[in-house]
Amino acid sequence: MPDWILENPENVSDAEIVVGIPSYNEADAIAFPTEQAAIGLTRFFPGRRGVIVNCDNASTDGTKEAFFNAPCVGVPRMYVSTPPGVKGKGNNFRNLFRLVTELGARAVVVVDADLKSITPKWIKNLGEPLFEDFGFVAPLYLRHKYDGTITNNIAYPLTRCLYGRRVRQPIGGDFGFSGDLASFYLGHETWNEDVAQFGIDIWMTTLAMYHRKPITQAFLGRPKIHRPKDPAASLGPMFRQVVGTMFHLMEAFASFWKQVRRSRPTAIFGFGLGETEMPPPVNVDVEALYRKFREGADRYEAAWEQALAPETFAKLREVGEMDQAHFEFPIPLWAHVLFDMAVAHRDRRLPREELLDSLAPLYYGRTLSFVRSTEGMALQQAEEYVEEQCLAFEEAKPYLVQRWGD
In the complex, which residues of this chain contact another protein (CB under 8 A)? Answer: 140, 142, 163-166, 168, 210-212, 219, 256, 259-268, 271, 276, 378-381, 383-384
Q: How far is the CB of 347 from another protein (least distance, A)?
A: 25
Q: How far is the CB of 295 from another protein (least distance, A)?
A: 36
Q: How far is the CB of 400 from another protein (least distance, A)?
A: 16
**In degrees rounded to 5, what are phi and psi of residue 327?**
-60, 135
What's the rounded Cα separation, in Å, for the pair 191 and 326? 43
What's the rounded Cα separation, in Å, for the pair 142 and 282? 13
* Smaller CB separation from another protein, 219 or 329: 219
* Smaller CB separation from another protein, 345 or 397: 397
* Smaller CB separation from another protein, 132 or 347: 132
> What is the amino acid identity at position 36?
Q
Q: How far is the CB of 236 from another protein (least distance, A)?
A: 31
User: In a 3-state reduction of DSSP, which class is residue 176?
Assistant: strand
* Smaller CB separation from another protein, 90 or 279: 279
* Smaller CB separation from another protein, 50 or 129: 129
Q: How far is the CB of 267 from another protein (least distance, A)?
A: 5
* Smaller CB separation from another protein, 186 or 379: 379
Q: How far is the CB of 257 from another protein (least distance, A)?
A: 9
Buried b / exposed e across 125-144, counting CB within 10 Å, b at 16+? bbbbbbeeebbbbbbbbbbb
Nearest to 98 by CA among 112, 114, 82: 82
* Smaller CB separation from another protein, 43 or 262: 262
> What is the amino acid identity at position 80?
V
CA distances from 81 to 26, 55, 60, 185 (A): 13, 6, 12, 18
DSSP 95-151: HHHHHHHHHT-SEEEE--TT-SS--HHHHHHHHGGGGTT-SEEEEE----TTS-HHI
Evaluate whether 277 touches 222 at the Cβ level (below 8 Å): yes
Q: How far is the CB of 188 from another protein (least distance, A)?
A: 14
Evaluate whether 247 touches 341 at the Cβ level (below 8 Å): yes
